[in-house]
Amino acid sequence: MISYLIRRLLYSVPIALGVSLMIFMLVHLAPGDPISAIAPADAPPDVVERLRVDYGYDKPLPIQFGLWLGRAVTGDLGNSVASGQPVAAEVMSAVGNTILLSLCAAVFGFTLGAVLGFVAGYKQGRAMDKIATAIAVAGISVPHYWLGMVLVIVFSVQLNALPAVGMGPGGSNDWAWDWLHMRHLILPAITLAVIPIGIVMRTTRSAVAEILNQEFVQALRAKGLSERHVLGHVIRNVAPTVLAVMGLQLGYLLGGSILIETVFSWPGTGFLLNTAIFRRDIPMLQGTILVLALFFVFLNVVVDLIQTAVDPRIKRA
């Protein structure tokens, strides 16, 4: 297990490097001189030249990447073009809000998806299966930013029951686990939860159906085990597959939350990205995406490890 852990971590190093390289290249994708993305638009030529040397843009690309990576590793993601503040600080404070929203959405979406999928797989072809499958298809196909708008229309505009924007009373950005703050979380979390419901449901359904078709289930029933205990065996066999998908979906939630945060003005990374795009703030764009992508790489390692831990059939020495 330990040696597998080490090898898995080593394998993720080139991936993380590749991810960093791609994000580094974003500044060169941007039209025009890369320095124009960093310098203020009205900067005098000598300041631009000094910035170019400071940031190493006068050096060849591989050395530029090395310098950029070196700074990123030490936590220096550059300064925001728009606000002049260090990107790292702004990203870190926003990441917490995004993770809070994603985790709440994950708990809700994964539970609902797994339960629906289990029922659908267990009662294949019955009405429950058809209803659950319809929910899954709708969940996969719905543009979630629109669903967020519809929920706002119903619960905020028409019923006036829940707040439409922000994460606290009076636009405060400090989170607390009380009703005044939590009611701000309900609509965005439900909207975001719709993304994984369909995938988790489909995976669970097909995994349950496959296990139920195996001979050992018949053997369990034949020896007179109660249905409850049979289901226990099914759950234990389905868990690794479903957990793996859930882990990946958690990563997609972090990405998908960008649009949802825009709809609900949730002060997370999505909101930050949206502002960065609007102001063409490339360092901010790079920093936010780097943090989110590296988190996703890390999450993939964790998913693999959990899967190895819960599934004794995977022998990874």
Partner 1 sequence: MAETTLPGLVPDVPIASRGYWSSVFRRLSGDWTTILCLVVLLIIILSAVFAPWIAPADPYKTSVIRRLKDIGTPGFPLGTDELGRDMLSRLIHGGRLSLVMGITPVINALIIGSFLGIVAGFVGGKINMVIMRTVDVFYAFPSVLLAIAISGALGAGLVNSIVSLTIVFIPPITRVAESVTTSVRNLDFVEAARASGAGGFTIIRVHVLGNVLGPVFVFATGLISVSIILASGLSFLGLGVRPPEPEWGLMLNTLRQSIYVNPWVCALPGVMIFITSICFNLMSDGLRSAMDVRA
* Residue placing its CB nearer to partner 1 in the complex, 144 or 220: 144
Closest CB 221 distance from partner 1, rounded Å: 29
| Residue list 211-270, contact with partner 1 (CB under 8 A) | 251-252, 254-256, 258-259, 262-263
Q: Nearest distance from residue 149's CB to partner 1, in Å?
A: 6
Residue 162 makes contact with partner 1 by CB under 8 A? no
Window 22-51: contact mask with partner 1 (x via CB under 8 A): xx--xx-xxx--------------------
Query: Which of 37/220 has CB closer to partner 1?
Result: 37
Selected binder of partner 1 within 4, 65, 122, 145 (CB under 8 A): 145
**Stretch touching partner 1 by CB under 8 A, among 52-60, 109-117, 222-230, 295-303:** 295-303
Which of 293, 303, 304, 308 forms a contact with partner 1 (CB under 8 A)? Answer: 293
> CB–CB of 254/273 below 8 Å?
no
**Which of 18, 232 has the CB closer to partner 1?**
18
Total number of residues binding partner 1 (CB under 8 A)?
52
Per CB under 8 A, the list member of 1, 157, 161, 314 interacting with partner 1 is 157
Q: Which CB atom, from 91 or from 220, has the smaller least distance to partner 1? A: 91
Question: Which residues have CB under 8 Å from 64's CB, separation 6+?
Answer: 24, 56, 57
Q: Tokens 């300064």 sit at which residue?
A: 79
Q: Cβ closer to partner 1: 204 or 257?
A: 257
137 contributes a contact to partner 1 by CB under 8 A: yes
Sign of the CA dihedral running 289, 295, 301, 302? negative
Distance from C-alpha of 57 to C-alpha of 60, rounded to nearest angstrom: 8
User: Which residues in 186-205 contact partner 1 (CB under 8 A)?
Assistant: none
Q: Does 61 bind partner 1 (CB under 8 A)?
A: no
Residue placing its CB nearer to partner 1 in the complex, 205 or 220: 205
List of residues contacting partner 1 (CB under 8 A): 14-16, 18-19, 21-23, 26-27, 29-31, 137-138, 140-147, 149-150, 152-153, 157-158, 251-252, 254-256, 258-259, 262-263, 273-274, 276-278, 280, 282, 285, 289, 292-293, 296-297, 300
